[in-house]
Amino acid sequence: MSDINFEFTEDFARKMDEADPLSAFRERFYFPKVNGQDAIYFCGNSLGLQPKSVKDYLDKELQNWAELAVDGHFDGEDAWMYVRQKSKPALSEILGAHPHELVAMNNLTSNLHFLMVSFYQPKADRVKIICEAGAFPSDQYALESQVKFHGLNPDDVLVELEPRAGEHTLRTEDILAKIQELGSELALVMMGGIQYYTGQLFDMKAITYAAHEVGAYCGFDLAHAVGNAPLSLHEWDVDFATWCSYKYLNSGPGNISGIYVHERFADRSDLPRFAGWWGHNEQQRFKMEKGFIPMHGADGWQLANSNVLALAAHQASLDIFQEAGMKRLRAKSEKLTAYLEFLIHEISGESGVLEIITPRRPSERGCQLSLLIHKGGKAVFDSWYAYGVVGDWRNPNVIRLAPTPMYNSFLDVYRFGKILEQSLAEFA
């Protein structure tokens, strides 16, 4: 951040926290402890912290279940029949989409499979799928198995884009060039919105436009982007997306996913899909008749009835997001991540221990910085944890650190800097 003169001092960090309009949100989350002290928790990219309000949200639904039992589906303030609606306003703001274009349901990989039933329809020579090399394994498994389901060979169909020699991240122009090159052979672009290993934020608008120009669909796995980076899925014309809610959305381990489907498909009953009761026309659902009639928008991709307890935990965090606002969160995130970057460069210098492989431009990353460890290997990570830093180790030699604007502070980053300073004496 060129407009801030960062300093490696506790006084500077405290002054930044005092000026932070979001600083009070930190107190609304539980922090784990390491060796009896609150952790420096930089692992929101794997599992977000628990909002203190979650228990109240869950208790309310447990009370409804106890007092209403089956009548809870139709009676009470938050009748379970319509409970999916409650999350739509917050998700609309976070994802940059209309409420009817999204719905919270299932888990991420399940949703990716269901969406690909609709949006991967190989025909004649148009069979290929573009993804980034080193995509999250679950995405790779989903893509491979979908290709095999259509009787095709993944080695012939999947086009995995790799960075140029000597580089760690993909260049946008190389992604667009490959889309153009494949042209009429390309059926689908399916990438992560943020690459989980490097932390690179892809230009989803440009990628979507390029895919559409050659007649292909375009979708994204937003697991590391949702609640982290600014998203405008509707404006970008993205066809579909899915995500998880347990990372930056702080909804609890393994909690509910969601899908986005552009409104151009809202009433496309001709699109192939795996149908279920809860995606059927809501006004006719309890007639219990044959003949699937999909609901308008993303709701028509639902299968089973809503997981009420999962949605309650999800809503506890979403309500906090609406208070904080994505614009304010993003503004803080850019400063917080830039401060972490500054300290790493300031402290590690020419030691040769660390290399940041995440792009430097804020427009090309979220809050995660991925650090390549050139000396010391996992021992470096273990030493940091012993001092209270909860980050994320990824084989073969990357540490991911994600100072999350909702609950992390500049003082957290400063404290990490002091720990980094100590560890370099051992590993440099």
Residue ranges and CATH numbers for the domains of the chain are 10-50+326-427 (3.90.1150.10), 78-322 (3.40.640.10)
Q: What is the pLDDT of residues 294-342, one digit of tens each?
A: 999 999 999 999 999 999 999 999 999 999 999 999 999 999 999 999 9
- The answer to whether the CB of 297 falls within 8 A of the CB of 101 is yes
Per DSSP, the three-state class of 131 is strand
Question: Quick one: pLDDT at residue 299?
Answer: 97
Question: Quick one: pLDDT at residue 308?
Answer: 97
Average pLDDT over residues 354-360: 96
Has residue 174 got a pLDDT over 70? yes
- Report the distance separating Cα 112 and Cα 143, nearest Å: 9
Residues paired with residue 259 on neighbouring β-strands, in sequence order: 103, 242
Q: Is 360 exposed, middle or buried (0-12, 13-18, 19+ CB in 10 A)?
A: exposed
Q: What is the pLDDT of residues 238-255, one digit of tens each?
A: 999 999 999 999 999 999
Helix 88-95 to helix 308-324 angle (10° resolution) is: 50
Question: Quick one: pLDDT at residue 29?
Answer: 98
Residues paired with residue 415 on neighbouring β-strands, in sequence order: none
Residue 216: partners with Cβ closer than 8 Å, 6 or more residues away: 126, 179, 186, 187, 188, 189
* Count of CB atoms situated within 10 Å of the CB of 87: 25
Residues paired with residue 389 on neighbouring β-strands, in sequence order: 40
Half-sphere exposure of 178 (CA within 13 A, CB side): 21
Question: Quick one: pLDDT at residue 119?
Answer: 98
pTM for the complete prediction?
A: 0.96
Which contiguous run of DSSP H or E holds residue 260?
strand 257-261
Question: Quick one: pLDDT at residue 1?
Answer: 52
Alpha-carbon distances, residue 215 vs 120, 172, 210, 234, 292 (angstroms)? 12, 19, 9, 18, 29
Has residue 2 got a pLDDT over 70? no
Average pLDDT over residues 345-350: 90
Q: What is the pLDDT of residues 193-209, one digit of tens each?
A: 999 999 999 999 999 99
Average pLDDT over residues 4-17: 97
- The answer to whether the CB of 279 falls within 8 A of the CB of 301 is yes
Has residue 176 got a pLDDT over 70? yes
Alpha-carbon distances, residue 390 vs 248, 361, 413 (angstroms)? 15, 25, 12
Q: What is the pLDDT of residues 122-161, one digit of tens each?
A: 999 999 999 999 999 999 999 999 999 999 999 999 999 9
Average pLDDT over residues 69-91: 93
- The answer to whether the CB of 139 falls within 8 A of the CB of 129 is no
